[in-house]
Structure 1
Amino acid sequence: MRLIDRLPCSNQSRDRHDPLYGTASAGLSWLLLEVAGGWGPSAFTGSPSVLDPALGLAIVRRAEASGMRIAAIRRPGRRESPSRWRWFIASSRPGQEWLVGGEVASPQDYLDVPLDGSAGQPVDGPLVIVCAHGRHDQCCAVRGRVVAGAIAARYPQETWECSHVGGDRFAATMILLPHGLSYGRVDSVDDPASIVAAYTQGRVDDSLLRGRTAYSHVVQAAQHFARTQHGDDHIDAYAPLAVREDGDVSTVLLAADPKPLEVALQATLSEPLLSTCHARIPGRVTQFALRSVRTATG
């Protein structure tokens, strides 16, 4: 089937009822750099009209060498003139979340920004980034730009479009920083900004939450089932205490009151699927089926 003949990947995902939980890409620290203008398939190395590709590659390699997730950001709607070069660094480590930001005179100066955040000013979050990287995947443009605009209407200073952050089939995708809450299908709700409002109150919307980027996929899935059965929607609820693996079955011990919870999950492989609009070869992805949720003994 030609690419033009098949449904967009996010439509296919919804038709299959692909689960959102347990799918957030890993990220403990983040580097977000303003690159205003049109992005190519790679925002940093494929957008020569706004950023020299060699400089972009050097920026990406520097961030990756420090173990950081990097994304380009830009304001929704009309582009500012002249271009500005703002940056943010976030830590999503549980219990050590922080967010700082600053601005430099040129993109070359991004190479001099200390990656430990020491040169930044504290930002009273949240920072909302919505993937709108259309040259990477059409679903991100079609769904993401609408969501970014809707959220920016209520949170204009906090909201940015961003380049690819994973999970194209779950567009519109969004990450809330500094806690690293990854959401999918955000365009499916009447008021996407309500998710951000809940975040400012220390809560999550579990129905669209893919997971917290600081945690492994199995922990993300376990937290989802704990919330589903016990209802605590606070961000820090059900912190992982231990993970025990036995073949394809994982038992996750989560903090809870009055006693911890044990969540047993079975890892399965999906039917072959196309995870992006540009994918040509179907692949299987790991999913998690609930076996049990119970109060830990002992």
Structure 2
Amino acid sequence: MTRCSDLAAGDAREGTAPPGERWFLVEHPGPWGRVAFAQSGLDPAVVTALDAWARTARGRVLLIRRPGRRSAGGPRRWFRVDSRPGHESVRTGTVTDDAGLVDALSAPGTAHPEPLYLACVHGRHDTCCAVRGRPLAAALAAVEPDRTWECSHVGGCRFAPALVLLPHGFVLGGTSPAQGVAAAAGYADGVVDPAFLRGRSTDPPAVQAAQHHARLVTGARGVDALRVVAVDAPGTGRWRVRMAGPDVEVELTERRVDPGRPLTCAATAPGWMREFDVLALRS
């Protein structure tokens, strides 16, 4: 069977990371419904509160669980992550019931200095996420069990498996399990390889694409490299992005591409893609 991730093998990854300046992760062993929070048995009032937080904080809320573990019971872990440049941090705590999650949205919690690795395995949302995400999660857990979690829908299913590196919010796609393990190890050492990088969740698509091409040209690999200084839109569908550390300016155009196919296994109609073309790169 040909799946969406097979058909998307040639699609451009850069500029496709989902938006999110903050993340709220809730341990929920399962089962997960197709719409993770609304259909996974959580208290509806809590779902409403989490949704309101996400809208206000420009955040993303995900269900998480340890790879291979499905049993419920006992306290559940939560993580509140700030991915904004210069504010990268993780706070954590536990709850014994759903109501405690509302307090956790603003609770001080405990500082969590270790990075988090999330592998999307949300098969009820898209088959590719389960088929490709679970082997990645298992491989990561084999070497970094305390840092690794399976997670619900991230976005961009055709780039499965999706790997999220927190707290920075880097989103990778299309790695093999071994490549994902190597990428996570590099991130822990302060390095990100653009080979599978879709972008950083804190940046808009045009900036993600600009940084991708700047990393390719300059060789900058540091997680804090290429800090965004200014973003201008000199014309419709045109962008100019200035970065520092090292100093680079990228001009690019944005275009809509109609591939003539559904973009996910679950989709029933053709979708469209955003792609970027570099006009100039000055360093």
Q: Distance in 2 between matches of 1:65 and 1:222?
A: 26
Query: Could you tell me how far 1:84 is from its partner in structure 2?
Result: 3.5
AA of the residue aligned to 1:211: G
Contact 1:45 1:56 in 2 (8 A): no
Q: Which runs of 5+ in 1 are unaligned?
A: 1-5
Amino acid at match of 1:137: D
Measure the CA separation in 1 of the matches of 2:248 and 2:114: 31
1:95 maps to amino acid? G
TM-score w.r.t. structure 2 length? 0.93
Report the CA distance between 1:165 and its aligned residue: 1.2
The equivalences for 1:183-198 within 5 A come to 183-187=172-176, 190-198=178-186
Change (3 A) 1:143 1:179: same
Asked if the contact 1:31/1:63 (under 8 Å) is kept, the reply is: no
Question: What is residue 83 of structure 2 aligned with on the other side?
Answer: 92
Q: Is the 8 A contact 1:88 1:100 kept in 2?
A: yes
On the 8 A contact 2:92/2:110 being kept in 1, the answer is yes
Pick from 206, 214, 217 the counterpart of residue 205 of structure 2.
Answer: 217
SS of aligned partner of 1:232: coil
Matches within 5 A, 1:282-297: 282-295=270-283
124-133 vs 39-48, which moves further: 39-48
4+ long deviations beyond 6 Å? none
Q: Does 1:122 align with 2:111?
A: yes
Q: Partner of 1:12 in structure 2?
A: 7
Code of the residue aligned with 1:32 in structure 2: it is L
Larger displacement relative to structure 2 (91-100 or 189-198) = 189-198
Q: Report if aligned partners of 1:147, 1:192 keep a CA contact under 8 Å in 2.
A: yes
Helix, strand or coil: the match of 1:207?
helix
User: TM-score of the superposition, structure 1-length normalised?
Assistant: 0.89
2:34 aligned with 1:41: yes
Aligned CA distance change for structure 1 residues 261 and 81 (closer, same or farther; 3 Å): closer
Confirm or deny that 1:143 pairs with 2:132: yes
Name the SS of the counterpart of 1:211 in structure 2: strand
Helix, strand or coil at the partner of 1:71: strand
Match of 1:262 among 227, 241, 249: 249
**Deviation of 1:81 (Å):** 5.0
Name the counterpart of 2:53: 63
Spell out the pairing of 1:63-82 with structure 2 (5 A cutoff).
Answer: 63-67=53-57, 68-80=59-71, 82=73
Instruction: Report the residue type matching 1:36 in the other structure.
Output: P
Match of 2:171, SS state, is strand
- Which residue of 243, 255, 258 maps to 1:271? 258
Percentage of matched positions with identical amino acids: 40
Residue of structure 2 equivalent to 1:158: 147
> Residue deviations 1:106-163, cap 9 Å, x none?
22221222x24x4310112211111100000000000001100100111101110000
CA deviation after TM superposition for structure 1 residue 55, in Å? 4.5
Question: What is the alpha-carbon root mean square deviation over aligned residues?
Answer: 1.7
User: Equivalent residue of 2:222, what SS?
Assistant: coil
Counterpart amino acid of residue 26 in structure 1? P
Structure with larger Rg: 1
Structure-2 change in CA distance of 1:55 and 1:134 (3 Å): farther
User: What are the ranges of 5 or more consecutive residues in structure 2 without an aligned counterpart?
Assistant: none
